[in-house]
Each structure stands twice: as structure tokens, then as C-alpha cells.
Amino acid sequence: MKKLLFLFIIILQPTFAYGLIQVDITRGNLDPLPIAVSPLHVDANSKNFKDIKVNKLGDKISEIIEKNFKATGLFNPLQKDSFVQKPDIAHLKPRFEDWRLIKAQALVTGKILVKDDKLKVEFRLWDLTASKEMIALAFTTTPTNWRRVAHIISDKIYERLTGEEGYFDTRIIYVSETGPKDKRVKKLAIMDQDGANTKYLTLGNELVLTPRFNPANQLVTYLSYFRNLPRVYLLDIETGIQEVVGNFPGMTFAPRFSPDGKKIIMSFAKDGNSDIYTMDIESRIVERITDHSAIDTSPSYSPDGKYICFNSDRSGLQQIYVMKSDGSDVKRITFGKGLYGTPVWSPRGDLIAFTKVRKGRFYIGVMRVDGSGERLLTENFYQEAPSWSPNGRVLVFYRETKSGPQGKGFTAKLWSIDITGYNERKIATETDASDPSWSSLLSK
């Protein structure tokens, strides 16, 4: 990952007014907020930087912001051809009544300057109903970061309008899949949350599965069949250095980081029995967390690190359990009809997302951490492996289609859905894709 200097330099006349427009994200939004995103005005002193053409940059940034907003289902970005003011003039002070005419309730304006290898950005969010400025921010970065600029602006506006942290300046790591179903080539791939900037991190020589970000983002843990030995690995995205985690005499799998990023929790299979272990990345000290003759796998920490939810078939069939992080106080939390797998604790701490299998159908759902309040969000032929957006509002998962003879018609794709159960969307990927993991905010 490219390190960037991110300088929030000025907060221009912050306005903290009450009674301004707000977007409620706690329920499905059937009436998305009409928002006008004006193209960012490009300062006349701007110069092209490498292959980045400055004259289009203001339009491109505003288009990415619009796409982000549209994908939330909470906002309705308005057509630009109805816009009533030039970007530079609107940015100084919009004629509120004119913008209200096109039924916009919020307006985003901004300007950019590319000079001396730097990209200076300034943007404002206007409440058109109250005729007030809601945010004004400016910052400087390298011009190659222009897409991230669009995501950061999106995050700030989302935050201001919903009262929740955004999730646009984030990335998704996943397994890219190509080739026929019985000879799949799987590679680790990483992309921006909106599908841009896809990069492949492995070559596809060996099978790789279940990559997961650590909270600090430079490290990823995943399962690799390197030399046909299935083991948990650690990969530094910046340096490309990979190393095997621990020295286990058998398969290790289902890895995840602890919330502080210091430990990896995973399953280790010995003589046919899988139990949960942790390894401290720095000291390499290994601890056994569960000791049961049944399968214990898919562990996931609570965000405070005090609890672990996991998948076990100790009752005879796959169910979800919660225990203290030292392995004590194991409690089964799923008692509904069907099988439950892939529990993942929400970053807000309030919910556990899971996969449920019942009568040959697969569901992605959420429930409270004691197992109550189960809500199934989506049903399909096959889908699993939910991963949380950093604000705990959206889940990304993968879905496979039913295949005919010789695996015909088989696809695997990433999808996202709000925890309200609304706004299900396919995420465009260059290849088939599975096992997504959402990063935390990059610019936190």
C-alpha cells in the first residue's frame, strides 16, 4: 500500500447548526435523499501530472462520489444536466433557491488545484433546505491519490449526513477465481471498495483461500496450499513478503486477526479433529483455546477482544457458539432450525453475521450476540462468508450459482447488502470472486 501524506490543513468556517438535513440509516430507505454533486472546479493554474489530465479530474471525482452515494441506497444523486450553476460559482456561494428548484436537498461543491506534484482539494456540503453550509474541508495529497480523494469526500459527507462513520475509503481483499469448476485457479486480489484498482497478490500457482485484513491494513492472513501443505500465512501487502504462521504439524485454516492486530486466531486440525488456537505474531507464542473432539472452526473476536464466536458441530451439527477469549464459558447461541456457520462479530460489537443452511437454501443473516433477534437478510442457492463494512452497516459476501452438467453456468460473485435487508447489490469484479474481506477505513 502506498503511504500517503494526508494533511488536513484547514477547516473552513465550520458551521455547527442544528435541525439540518439528516439521513436515517437504521431502516431501509425507500426515499433516498436527492443530492446534487457539482463537478469540482479545476483551478486554471493546474498542470497535468504524469498521465493524469487535470481538465477531466473535477468531473471524475464528482462521478465517483455520485457512484458511492448511489450504492448506499440512501442517496439519490441528481442528473448533472439539470444543474443550474457553474462549479466555481456554486462553490463560492450557491443560489439556494435555484438548486431547490431541481428538488435537490443537499449540494456538494469543490475545487482542485494540481501544482508542484500536489493535489489540493477543497469541498463544501450545503444544506439547501436550511440554506446553510454543513461542512467545508481542504486537504493536500499526491495527484495519483485522486480516487481516494473522491472516497474521502464521500466519507466526510456520509458522516455528516448520517452521523455514522463512512466506508468508502476502504478496500476489499478477495479470492479471484478463473477456469473450469474442477480446475479453478485462485489468486488473492485486492481492490478499492468500488471495484477500481484491482491488483493480484499471488500468481495462482497454489490454491489460496479465506484472506482477512488485519485492523492496521498492511497485513493479510490467509490459507495457502503452498507445496501442497495447507497452512495459514501472513502477507505484508506493502512488501509482498509472505510467511507461514507458526510451526504446526498439520493443516491450519480459518484465520483471522485479533482486534488489536497482535494475534492470529485459527483452526488447527490434528488427527481429524479441528480445534481453535491463537498465535502471537511478535512472540510466536501459541495458545490452545478449545479442546473438544468435535470440529471447532471459523473463530472471530468481538471488537473489544474479550469474546470469540466460532462454529462447532459438538451438538452433532454445525452451530454457533460464543466463549470468553481464553476459551472458558462456552455457550451455544443458535437454536433455530437448520445449520449455522461462518459467524463474524460486527465492528460495532452489537451483532454477529452468519450463514444459515436450511432445506437446501443458504441465507446470510444477523443476530444479537446472545443469539436472539435473528434476521435473515437474503436467501439463495449458495452464498456464505459475510464480512462487515467498517461501520457495521453493510455486509459483503459471495454467492455461487447452480451449475449444470460439466459445471456449466457456474459463477461466483461478490454481493453486498445492508443489514436492514435492503439494497442488495452485485459488486463488479474483473474475474469470478469469493471469500471477501473488507478493510477498515484507510484514512482514519
Binding site for other proteins (CB under 8 A): 180-182, 184, 207, 209-210, 223, 228, 230, 251, 253-254, 267, 269, 271-274, 295, 297-298, 311, 313, 317-318, 339, 341-342, 355, 357, 360, 381-382, 384-385, 400, 402-407, 410, 434-435
Q: Are 260 and 244 in contact (CB under 8 A)?
A: no
Tell me the three-class secondary structure of 40-82, residue by residue: CEECCCCCCECCECHHHHHHHHHHHHHHHHHHHCCEEECCHHH
Radius of gyration of the chain (CA): 23
User: Minimum CB separation from other proteins for residue 269, in Å?
Assistant: 4
75-77 and 132-141 strand pairing = unpaired
Q: Minimal distance in Å, beta carbon 396 to other proteins?
A: 15
CB of 267 to other proteins, least distance (A): 6
Q: What string of DSSP letters covers 108-128?
A: EEEEEEEETTEEEEEEEEEET
12/207 with CB nearer other proteins: 207
Distances (CA, A) of 40 to 66, 116, 139, 336: 12, 19, 14, 52
CB of 254 to other proteins, least distance (A): 4
Q: How far is the CB of 399 from other proteins (least distance, A)?
A: 13
The label of the residue with cell 505484508 reads: 236
Q: Which is nearer to other proteins, 100 or 181 (CB)?
A: 181
Residues facing residue 232 across a β-bridge: 223
Q: Which of 351, 319, 312 is nearest to 335 (CA)?
A: 319
Which residue number, 154 or 176, has a Cβ lying nearer to other proteins? 176
| Cβ proximity to other proteins, 3 vs 227, nearer residue | 227
Nearer to other proteins, 54 or 173 (CB): 173
Query: What's the distance, CA 167 to chain centroid?
Result: 7
Q: How far is the CB of 180 from other proteins (least distance, A)?
A: 7
Which residue, 85 or 434, is less far from other proteins as judged by CB?
434
Q: Which is nearer to other proteins, 22 or 403 (CB)?
A: 403
Q: Looking at beta carbons only, is 134 or 208 nearer to other proteins?
A: 208
Q: Which of 369, 318, 375, 321 is nearest to 345 (CA)?
A: 369
**Least distance between other proteins and beta carbon 342 (Å):** 5
How many other β-carbons are positioned within 10 Å of the β-carbon of residue 124? 25
Least distance from other proteins to the Cβ atom of residue 225, Å? 8
Return the number of the residue (236 or 291) whose C-beta is nearest other proteins: 291
Calpha distance 389→198 (Å, rounded): 18
DSSP 361: E
DSSP track, 171-220: EEEEEEEES-GGG-EEEEEEEETTS-S-EE-S-SSS-EEEEEE-TTSSEE
Which cell is 320 given? 454457533
Which amino acid is located at 369 in the chain?
V
Whole-angstrom Cα distance, residue 381 to residue 357?
10
CB of 182 to other proteins, least distance (A): 5
For 200, the grid coordinates are 493480484
